Amino acid sequence: MLKGFYKFKAKNTRTMPLLEILSMAAETLWSNKLRTGLTMLGVIIGIASVIAITSVGQGVQKGVEQQIQALGTDVLQVLAGASRSGNNISQGLGSTSTLTWEDAKAIAKEAPSAEIVSAYLQRNAQVVYGEQNTSTTIYGTDLNYPDARNTYPQEGRYFTQEELDNAAQVAVLGPTVQKTLFGDGVNPIDETIRIQGEAYKVIGVTEPKGSQGPMDRDDQIFIPLTSMSGRLVGNNALTGISVSGVLVKASNQQKLEAAQFQVTNILRLRHNIYPPQVDDFRLTNQADIVSTFTNVVGLFTVMVVAIAGISLVVGGIGIANIMLVSVVERTREIGIRKAVGATNSAILNQFLAEAIVISIVGGCIGMGSGVVIAFAAANIFRFPFVISILSIIAGFGLSLTVGLIAGVIPARNAAKLDPITALRSD
């Protein structure tokens, strides 16, 4: 209990430098390792949680933003809705499609803000090569799809206008499909796969795009829209070739709103939709998706960080509790120090220093732990590793503040002890 007393006695307590006060505090804490460690634990968990959660939230947000931006924030997606009967009654999804390839061609011709327009038809299908098979997404597209989606072949090529016109049975694989069917290091170009029993020649493999949420953007196959419509799906539109959606890429993000207005009016006129009738198509804006997701993740991160902050408050209560117990245990030591000339301010500084040392050391360990947890999560779940300098500064500031607040009352109690009463205590 009196381990630091003799060193204390040899010094003039009125002029003791800060470094020596901190040194004595560290020595006192080191002599009670278990108690000190348990006291630090609350601070460590709180700071680590704040930093790790903030980093993970920012990393996930950045990762999804990158994935959506890779698709293009200047892209408008028009999706087919449910067709309607003569009484304007919805026939439900899966009935006759409300979008056609002719709609896409009309948009390309009549919408000034649309720089690239691409129609696509999407279905899930079983694909077989030799003894290997997989269920994947098949996209029947036109020639504009690679530019509209920023998806280009890494090996081989995309199909040509002649192959599109002739409904050629050629296919471009995504990297996941290539790996599943052919394995690593095998070149699939010129090999033949079977899609729903139909033979298709592999002419290319797209560059890897990664995942967008739960969807693997590499687990897909591209074939000519005419081949998809005629061989795998069959024309199910009232007129023309049915499509699942139309991609409209504006020359820049600023013209996207104008493109959305133009596309809406073109389709309403073509589909004979007039107020108060409901549109039989849906429009989604990539820029709006980015903004909405950013707001949602931001609010979620704030909420979870606030919850993590509660554990930091609990850690501060732990420090205050242990320091109060320490004052009771060290009553006789405090009386001896006062008897040899220690002032109230010297005692106050000593106990404050111990609380601050606990919080700073705990905070540093917590910051390190938070960074390690965030780095591990980024590698395991494959999103960008982001550490905000602001979160590090905030973490250090929080730990220091917790130490100061938690140490004030115990330190004041120690400073106010009567030396005579303290010396009489057991």
pLDDT band for position 89 (50/70/90)? very low
- At residue 70, φ and ψ (nearest 5 deg) are -65, -30
For 361-418, the pLDDT digits (tens) are 888 999 999 999 999 999 998 888 988 788 788 777 877 887 788 888 888 888 888 7
CB 40 within 8 A of CB 257: no
What Rg, from alpha-carbon coordinates, does the chain have? 34
| DSSP reduced 3-state for 164 | helix
What totals of helices (H) and strands (E) does the chain contain, helices first? 14, 12
Predicted TM-score of the model (pTM): 0.63
Residue with tokens 């939230």: 57
CB 242 within 8 A of CB 103: no
What are the sequence ranges of the domains in the chain? 5-66+292-424, 82-279
Residue 311 CA to residue 314 CA, distance in Å, equals: 5
Half-sphere exposure of 94 (CA within 13 A, CB side): 1
For 281-303, the pLDDT digits (tens) are 999 886 676 677 777 777 877 78
At how many degrees (to 10) do helices 18-30 and 33-71 cross? 100
From residue 101, alpha-carbon distances to 137, 144, 270, 343, 369 in Å are 20, 12, 12, 89, 55
Q: Which of 392, 296, 384, 375 is nearest to 60 (CA)?
A: 384
Whether the ω angle into residue 188 lies within 30 degrees of 0, i.e. cis, is no
**pLDDT for position 47:** 85
Share of the chain above pLDDT 70, in %: 86
At how many degrees (to 10) do helices 33-71 and 389-415 cross? 160
| DSSP reduced 3-state for 283 | strand
pLDDT band for position 242 (50/70/90)? confident
- Structure token digits, residue 285: 């804006």
